[in-house]
Amino acid sequence: MPVLVHVVDHPLVAASLTKVRDENTPNAVFRQELERIGALLLVEATRGLATHEVAVQTPVAMTTGRILTTQPVIVPILRAGLGFVNAAQILIPGADIGFIGISRNEETFEPQPYVNKLPDSIADRVIIVLDPMLATGGSLAHTCRLLYDHGATGPIVVVCALAAPEGILALQDTGMDLQIFTASIDERLNEHAFIVPGLGDAGDRQFGAA
């Protein structure tokens, strides 16, 4: 199964990415800019959603329009993925939201799950996983495996602000069918498995250290 990576090259994404990388950006501004990145990435990530034609009566005449054939399922990975949820709900107001909570063990870098609250039915629906950071790939691999075990049809769409090459390779090794939309593939991981140059800890910079 392929892992396809789309780097969204857009001036507005680049400008917001510069803001969130800057260590001097206050947390309130960080949240705004991260959400803006999420919205712009989601526009690209949803380009392939299926639509069908419907009739619509305007105040002037009958015409036709298009609506989504199936509502997607949005799955933020807590905590950092919460920063993309508002943008996702504005863009796709009919989407269901599932929640996966994962904390990365900062010594072993292994994912430690603590929340799993998914919609009952996710088969044959587009699933969009939100996590600003793809570092080792452990959190996303765990989440996407859960989703496939829960009946996801795939490919699963992943939206992340930053991706490390090591994390992309790790996801390729899982054999899962994934489409990743990111603002940047950064250089590498450091010895603490932080993305370099990265933006630091996206959870802490939105919500405070925890």
Judged by beta carbon, residue 121 or residue 133, the one nearer ligand PRP is 133
| Smallest separation (angstroms) from ligand PRP to the CB of 81 | 7
Interface segment toward ligand PRP; rule CB under 6 A; list 50-58, 65-73, 77-85, 120-128 = 77-85
* Residue with Cβ nearer ligand PRP (71 or 103): 103
The beta strand positions in the chain, using DSSP E, are 3-7, 51-57, 62-68, 73-78, 96-97, 99-104, 111-117, 127-130, 133-134, 156-163, 178-185, 188-189, 195-196
Cα separation, 12 vs 65, whole angstroms? 29
Please give the Cα distance from 158 to 60 (Å, whole number): 41
User: Is there a catalytic annotation at residue 70?
Assistant: no
Is 63 labeled as catalytic in the residue annotation?
no
Backbone CA torsion sign across 38, 40, 46, 51: positive
Q: Which of 9, 22, 173, 204 is catalytic?
A: 204
Q: Choosing from 18, 108, 173, 188, which is the catalytic residue?
A: 108
Q: Which residues would be at the binding site for ligand PRP (CB under 6 A)? A: 77, 79-80, 103-104, 109, 111, 131, 133-140, 167, 193, 201-204
* Positions marked active-site: 104, 108, 201, 204
